[in-house]
Amino acid sequence: GAGVSQTPSNKVTEKGKYVELRCDPISGHTALYWYRQSLGQGPEFLIYFQGTGAADDSGLPNDRFFAVRPEGSVSTLKIQRTERGDSAVYLCASSINRGSYNEQFFGPGTRLTVL
């Protein structure tokens, strides 16, 4: 079946603009995760959804970042007033449920560049 997909693949924006990044998880996966991967670093956890609700948003760096998953499937990560420091690859992952042992399946990421 289809894996996790993310759109757009690349996004270039100007400082101060608003961006939305989309994630389509694997069908039937109730758990969805967003990570941010800066150049030369490993991914860093941002937020976790179980169904429609954000069960853990402790990784969001500040209130310019927000994510939704209104129907428990597709999720959108929203970044307001973008800054150059927001430039990174944003990865989305999904798993069958929250269980710690469960494999998280990752999408190819969105590379965000803020000029």
Cβ atoms of 74 and 27 within 8 Å: the answer is: no
3-class DSSP state for residue 111?
strand
Query: Least distance to another protein from the beta carbon of 60, Å?
Result: 10
Cα–Cα distance, 108 to 72 (Å, whole number): 20
Q: Is 40 in the site for another protein (CB under 8 A)?
A: yes
Question: Which residue, among 78, 89, 85, 86, has the nearest Cα to 41 in the 3D structure?
Answer: 89
Beta carbon of residue 30, minimum distance to another protein (angstroms, whole number): 13
Q: In Å, how far are 33, 77, 95, 115 from 69, measured between CA atoms?
A: 11, 9, 15, 28
- Mask: binding to another protein, 47-86, rule CB under 8 A, as x and -? -x------xx-xx---------------------------
Closest approach, Cβ 103 to another protein, in A, equals 5
Regarding 25 and contact with another protein (CB under 8 A), the answer is: no
Regarding 93 and contact with another protein (CB under 8 A), the answer is yes
State the Cα–Cα distance between residues 115 and 96, nearest whole angstrom.
37
Binding site for another protein (CB under 8 A): 3, 33, 35, 40-46, 48, 55-56, 58-59, 89, 91, 93, 98, 100-101, 103-104, 106-109, 111
